[in-house]
Amino acid sequence: MLFDWSYFFSLFSVSDFWEACITVIELSALGWFIGMVLGFLLASAKLSTSRWLRVPAGIYIWFFRSVPLLVLVVFVYNLPQLFPVTRDVLSNPFYSGLFALVVTEAAYMAEIHRGGLISVAKGQKEAGRALGVGVIGMQRLIVIPQAFRISLPTLINEYITVVKLTSLVSVISLTEILTVGQRLYATNFLVMETLSAVAVYYVLIVSVFGWLLQRLEQYLEMNNRKPQTLDDLGMRKLRATLAPPTPQPQKHVGPGAAPALQLSNIYKSYGQHDVLKGIDLDINSGQVISIIGPSGSGKTSLIRTINGLESIDQGEIILFGESFIHASETPNSAQIRRGVQRIGMVFQNFNLFPHRTIVDNVTLAPRYHGRTQQLSEQRAYALLDKVGLLAHAHKYPHQLSGGQQQRVAIARALAMDPQIMLFDEPTSALDPELVGDVLNVIRDLAKEGMTMLIVTHEMDFAMSISDRVIFMEDGNIQVDATPQVIRAHDAGDRVRQFMGLVA
């Protein structure tokens, strides 16, 4: 029996097929979108630290990924027999099919979203916390945009799967593409021709919407963004609009003023390993403190406890005379976030937000905390000019060198007008020729009277910039002395040996 080509081509002018295409598009688009939203909520619940959220979400995902969609479609369509109140909605094949699709797809998409969420680097969340961004703001501004971009290729593939799965709804007599085809070949027995046309209709829908979603994927791909560098004229115009720089804290402090930062009897352990063993430290406003020591001595852990990135097991941290973090109390997230806004943090690996431009990185926290867009952008441009990166304001982080990214990270921390700056080995991830630019920015801050704690392995830099050098080893402060005392052999041989000052 020959294939009837004339009949095959005539099927593309049948209005029932095109109406069925609209039904498939509506059903698949709604099922995909609603399933994607519910799937994200399920993924977030499964990643939650709360057992009451994590366990039910895990059971839901396990169960509905196990039940065949065809069984679920038939079950939902007959559900009004058990619950008559659902008859008005679920007796409609479209709504029954949509409900079954959403319930199933939410379970599958939850795992897709979970993969995206756990792929967002831990440092991104730490950067948000260091800027005082709350949990909801963190998800909305930092985590979700990155996780969605990571998950999008798989979500697009899932949409294609949803389009094909709509054919299963034909078992409850929904007039979709396969149902129309079945009605036709039941009367004329031209099965091959009719099913071939059905396949073409599905391919057409998948191709058009797959192409649109792939365009979205390409738009969100950071590597496709072209670098935008301001020319000299553009920078001159921008500088003309900038507000005068915000006055920096002065180095001289009146008598009787409380220290900027006090650490009292700080203990910290990871399991059975004690990393901080009773740290006591007072830092006055305007002082520059360099923290040095061998790897594993507790330097980074110490600096991370100061802005709440790490909890403390014992002791208290006092900020400008007010209790900030106390080990014996239940952590007050709002109190800690208020204190964190007074402390800027610059990370070893920059932790810039890759989905935002340089100027957006700098303005994110001020705008989140209530500063207007205009003032935030003015301050951001002024800070970028200060660190020598105004021309790169509209680039993305991956389009800058490591040294440039670290200078942006400093500008981002300064945008909150902090009273204390923390630097966690700010040059250790940089090539040697890039170190100088970052150190020069830190030197300028020191000259302006900024209170700073710097964890560093740059010994010459530490000796030249610091009011005090703290040498840590085995979780304790072994030496707390001025550079002059260390050079004068009055601080012990161990610190001089570590710093390479022993002949």
- Give the residue numbers spanning the domain of 170: 5-220
What is the average per-residue pLDDT within 203-216? Answer: 93
In a domain, 237, yes or no: no
pLDDT tens string 3-27: 999 999 999 999 999 999 999 999 9
**Per-residue confidence band for 251, with pLDDT thresholds at 50, 70 and 90:** very low
What is the average per-residue pLDDT within 127-145? Answer: 93
- Rounded CA-CA distance 38/423 in Å is 40
| Cα 237 to chain centroid, rounded | 33
Q: List, edge to edge, every strand of the sheet that includes 343-346.
A: 343-346, 420-424, 451-455, 288-292, 468-473, 476-481
Ramachandran category for residue 70: left, alpha or beta (phi over 0 → left; psi -120 to 50 → alpha): alpha
What is the average per-residue pLDDT within 441-449? Answer: 93
In sequence order, the 6+-apart residues with CB closer than 8 A to the CB of 202 are: 24, 163, 164, 167, 177
CB 266 within 8 A of CB 314: yes
Calculate what percentage of the chain has a pLDDT beyond 70.
95
Lowest mean pLDDT among 207-211, 305-309, 347-351, 434-438: 434-438
Domain boundary among 190, 220, 250: 220
- Rounded CA-CA distance 159/287 in Å is 58
Ramachandran category for residue 132: left, alpha or beta (phi over 0 → left; psi -120 to 50 → alpha): left
Mean predicted lDDT score pLDDT of the chain: 91
Model pTM score: 0.87
Domain boundary among 220, 240, 275: 220
Do 216 and 326 lie in one domain? The reply is no
Lowest mean pLDDT among 41-45, 117-121, 322-326, 397-401: 322-326
Q: For residue 379, what pLDDT is reported?
A: 93
Lowest mean pLDDT among 256-270, 343-357, 371-385, 400-414: 256-270
Q: For residue 254, what pLDDT is reported?
A: 55
- CATH code where residue 122 lies: 1.10.3720.10
In a domain, 266, yes or no: no
Is the confidence at residue 361, as pLDDT, over 80? yes
Q: For residue 502, what pLDDT is reported?
A: 65
Q: For residue 503, what pLDDT is reported?
A: 56
From residue 18, give the alpha-carbon distance in Å to each of 164, 174, 189, 190, 294: 16, 14, 21, 19, 72
Q: Closest Cα partner for 31 from 108, 89, 92, 90?
A: 108
Do 43 and 145 lie in one domain? The reply is yes
What is the three-class DSSP state of 38?
Answer: helix
Q: For residue 408, what pLDDT is reported?
A: 96
Q: Closest Cα partner for 472 from 495, 454, 499?
A: 495
In sequence order, the 6+-apart residues with CB closer than 8 A to the CB of 237 are: none
In a domain, 39, yes or no: yes
pLDDT tens string 83-92: 999 999 999 9
| Cα 455 to chain centroid, rounded | 25
Q: Which residues pair with 231 in a beta bridge?
A: none
- Structure token digits, residue 404: 């440039």
Neighbours of 31 (CB within 10 A): 26
Q: For residue 329, what pLDDT is reported?
A: 65
Do 34 and 179 lie in one domain? The reply is yes
Do 300 and 214 lie in one domain? The reply is no
Is the confidence at residue 250, as pLDDT, over 60? no
Neighbours of 169 (CB within 10 A): 28
**Per-residue confidence band for 51, with pLDDT thresholds at 50, 70 and 90:** very high
Number of compact structural domains in the chain: 2
What is the average per-residue pLDDT within 444-466? Answer: 93
**Per-residue confidence band for 252, with pLDDT thresholds at 50, 70 and 90:** very low
- Rounded CA-CA distance 268/286 in Å is 27
In sequence order, the 6+-apart residues with CB closer than 8 A to the CB of 332 are: none
Do 202 and 300 lie in one domain? The reply is no
- Structure token digits, residue 80: 């009004």
In a domain, 78, yes or no: yes
Is the confidence at residue 174, as pLDDT, over 60? yes
Do 197 and 345 lie in one domain? The reply is no
In a domain, 124, yes or no: yes
Is the confidence at residue 332, as pLDDT, over 70? no
Query: 93-119 vs 51-66: helix axis angle to the nearest 10?
Result: 130
- Rounded CA-CA distance 305/325 in Å is 9
In a domain, 257, yes or no: no
Do 332 and 481 lie in one domain? The reply is yes
What is the average per-residue pLDDT within 61-66? Answer: 96
CB 422 within 8 A of CB 453: yes
Do 207 and 300 lie in one domain? The reply is no
Q: Could you tell me the sign of the dihedral formed by the alpha carbons of 244, 246, 251, 256, in that order? A: positive
Do 199 and 291 lie in one domain? The reply is no
In a domain, 253, yes or no: no
CB 163 within 8 A of CB 207: no
Domain boundary among 177, 196, 220: 220
Do 105 and 193 lie in one domain? The reply is yes
**Per-residue confidence band for 277, with pLDDT thresholds at 50, 70 and 90:** very high
In a domain, 9, yes or no: yes
**Per-residue confidence band for 334, with pLDDT thresholds at 50, 70 and 90:** confident
- Rounded CA-CA distance 61/162 in Å is 17
CA dihedral angle for residue 398, residue 402, residue 403, residue 408, rounded to 10 degrees? 40
- CATH code where residue 420 lies: 3.40.50.300
Do 165 and 290 lie in one domain? The reply is no
Q: How are the residues of the chain apportioned to helix, strand and coil, as percentages rounded to the nearest 5?
A: 60, 15, 30
Position 414, amino acid: L
- Rounded CA-CA distance 38/192 in Å is 39
